[in-house]
Structure 1
Amino acid sequence: MASFRKRGELQWQARINRKGFPAQVKTFSTRAEAEAWARQVESEIDRGVFVSRVEAEATSLSEALERYEREISAFKKGAVQERSVIVVWKGTDLARRSLAAVRSADVAKLRDEWLKTHKSATVLRRLAVLSHVFTIARKEWGMEGLLNPVELIRKPQVSNARTRRISTQAPSPADAPSTERRLGDEVERILAATGSDILPAIVRLSIETAMRRGEIVSLRWEHVDLKRRVAHLPSTKNGNSRDVPLSSKAVAALESVRSDTGTAVGKVFDVREDTVTQAFDRALKRARAIYLDECKRAGEEPDGRYLTDLRFHDLRHEATSRLADIFPLHELTKITGHKDTRMLMRYYHPRAEDLAKKLA
């Protein structure tokens, strides 16, 4: 039987005691709400479908996020990136609510607010983290009756495929007519503008091997065999190890770093992932500024696409497209580390003029 008692002037507490079940207690603003809740719980007990919501109602979203960060996120490869998403969720008003009180409508409202100022991919990542928090709470933290509010809402449609290819033309002679001027290799321009000692080797290694930024930064000399021209990656993004063949240019890039350090053990590049991206972005801005200054002095109109909209990760796209001209698909997947050939095709962007040359 359910019992009800008034708490203060504005609250009613309902309590249900059934043999073989933990006591269920919940407080409401009115007696009618308390009685409706009690009838629902007693009906579920009678039908044998009752699942206790006590822990879900006693745990705030903020507390669940903290536990998730300690027990789940900390052991992911993308722990640093996911931690920043958790910080965002902890800063919302929803973080103060209990897990059981977070509704799909609340999450949908927040989704719509974020989409006004953030890209769809960013919002989708945030929703994915929240969804996993609820999934873990239900499957591993004993909150079986907890509903996942993210499962019922529409997800933002993401269209972030990149097709940016890098200009690889040789620069024109200084006395060439303006109508025949070639802008030159964008990568070489960027490296000429950098103040970093190791960015040139990292960039050249990336564009020759299609390795990810994190794979390059975590590369160790113990796993590099310059004689066999192979770099071993014991742990990658998809959880598998792989061996990456090294071109002569990739070997030269590695040898240039080893000649400076004089070591054959430890990390090849003693640098963080974000530092690589920041150095690349700074060099790109300097290279663009130098190019604009050249155009101004020559009285020419600058190319709006040259040395713009270029990211470090585009080097992996460029490398994959180049390697696709050499290796068949089944061998290319072994080099790039893609498990799904559909994902690999997102990285392969042949130039139409290059394909035309293969036609009779």
Structure 2
Amino acid sequence: MASISKRGDYQYQATVRRKGFSKQCKTFETERDAKNWAKVIESEMIRGVFVDRSELERTTLGELLERYEHEVTVDKIGARQERSRIKQWKAHPLALRPLASLKAVDFSKYRSAREKEVGANTVRLELALISAMFNHAKKDWSMPVENLIKDIRAPKVPAGRERRLVGDEEKRLLEAASAARSNPHQLKTAILLAIETGLREGRLAGLQWEQIDLREGVVWVMTKDEEHKQRSVPVPLTEKAVELLRALPRDISGYVFGRAFPTAQALGNAFRRARDRAGLTNLTFHDLRHEAASRMAPRMNMPTLAKVMTWKTLQMAMRYYNPTAGELVAAVRATA
């Protein structure tokens, strides 16, 4: 049954008690609003469609992000990158809002404003984080929260990049890396390893010697399978890659690049400084992964290339394999 009690000027508390349900309370400015709310809640309980939203009313978006970071993000391969996105969200005014007050339009406005500040893919990843968090909260934590992200327009992400090293760009980039004021040998080696193996900057920066088997010629990295479970997979090393690794000094930290690049950001910053000194434009560290895939592709079939690059689908091969016109001509003539 429902009861209405006056708690002060413009404060009417409605309380609904019904067997089989937890007590529901809410305060309104008018007695009419309190009664109307109580009628709705009682009706939903009678019809068996009532959903207790009290947890959503007392939990903010920031608090849910905090829990997700500590219980879910911590076990992810890309935990460092996701923590950075969580930090961005927690600094936004939406983080102070109770979950029950959030609407799809709030995230739509966030998307539109954020697109003016950063790239579309960055916005896509930030929204994907919230979407994954809402889904996890509903399925694993039994919170009556809906995925509001699925109701808004996704950011328009540009088509896949096809930037590769052309002409003497590789030579100029390596010369600029060798001229770096700090850790020139490590930077040049990291760039060459990226071209030889296709390893991303995050994996290179966090690479430890215990992951490397120089005798077998492989690097063991963690990835996720189709069921999103982590597993260790081998990334083969070319003979040149083995030589590059053997030439690196062993640091007591156990990391391949020691203290030179403690994070992916540190390696990325060093790369960008070298790139700018070399006078190269529109080149990212990740483009070296495209370069590696495109160089390997003519020498192996696509399923093998997918295994080498740790792709889950063959469609990824088409995204990363960006042959030049000359390479396509050479491939056709090699079959003649």
TM interval, short-chain normalised: 0.7 to 0.9
Larger Rg: 1
* Residues 164-191 of structure 1 deviation map (CA, whole Å, 9 limit, x = unaligned): 010254xxxxxxxxxxxxx773433333
What secondary structure, in the 3-state scheme, does the structure 1 residue paired with 2:12 have? strand
What residue number does 1:261 align with? Answer: 250
What CA distance in whole angstroms lies between the structure 1 residues aligned with 2:96 and 2:75?
Answer: 26
The answer to whether 1:335 aligns with 2:326 is no
Aligned with 2:281 (options 308, 326, 349): 308
Q: RMSD over aligned Cα, in angstroms?
A: 2.3
Check the 8 A contact 1:12/1:34 in 2, yes or no: yes
Query: C-alpha deviations, 1:201-244, integer Å up to 9, x for none?
Result: 1111111111222332333334433344x123142366332223
Q: Which residue of 2 aligns with 1:304?
A: none
Return 5+ residue gaps in structure 1 as ranges: 170-182, 289-306
The corresponding residue for 2:148 is 149
- What's 1:72 paired with? 72
TM superposition score normalised by structure 2 = 0.88
CA contact (8 A) 2:235 2:310 kept: no
1:152-171 correspondence to structure 2 within 5 Å:
152-169=151-168
SS of residue matched to 1:241: strand
Residue 185, structure 1, aligned to residue 171, structure 2 = yes
- SS of 1:167's partner is coil
Cα distance in 1 for partners of 2:211, 2:127 equals: 37
Does 1:325 find its partner at 2:298?
A: yes
Which structure 2 segments of 5+ residues have no match?
none
**Contact preservation (8 Å) 2:251, 2:257:** no
> Does residue 19 of structure 2 align to residue 28 of structure 1?
no
Give matches, 1:262-277, under 5 Å.
Answer: 266-270=254-258, 271-272=261-262, 273-277=264-268
TM-superposed CA distance for 1:9, in Å, is: 2.1
Aligned residue in 2 for 1:224: 212
| 1:70/1:19 CA distance change after superposition, 3 Å | same
Q: Distance in 1 between matches of 2:285 and 2:113?
A: 30
Question: Contact 2:198/2:293 (CA < 8 Å) preserved in 1?
Answer: yes
Percent of aligned positions with the same letter in both sequences? 42
> Helix, strand or coil: the match of 2:222?
coil
Counterpart of 1:125, as a letter, is L
Deviation at 1:43, TM superposition (A): 1.5
SS of structure 2 residue aligned to 1:240? strand
Q: Secondary structure at the match of 2:204?
A: helix
The answer to whether the aligner puts 1:37 opposite 2:37 as a matched pair is yes
Question: Match of 2:222?
Answer: 235
Q: How does 1:81-92 map to 2 (within 5 A)?
A: 81-92=81-92
1:260-302: CA deviation from partner (whole Å, max 9, x where unpaired): 3399x933222322221111111112222xxxxxxxxxxxxxx
8 A Cα contact 1:12 1:31, kept in partner: yes
Q: Residues 184 and 217 from structure 1, CA distance in 2 versus in 1: closer, same or farther, beyond 3 angstroms? A: closer
Matched positions, count: 324
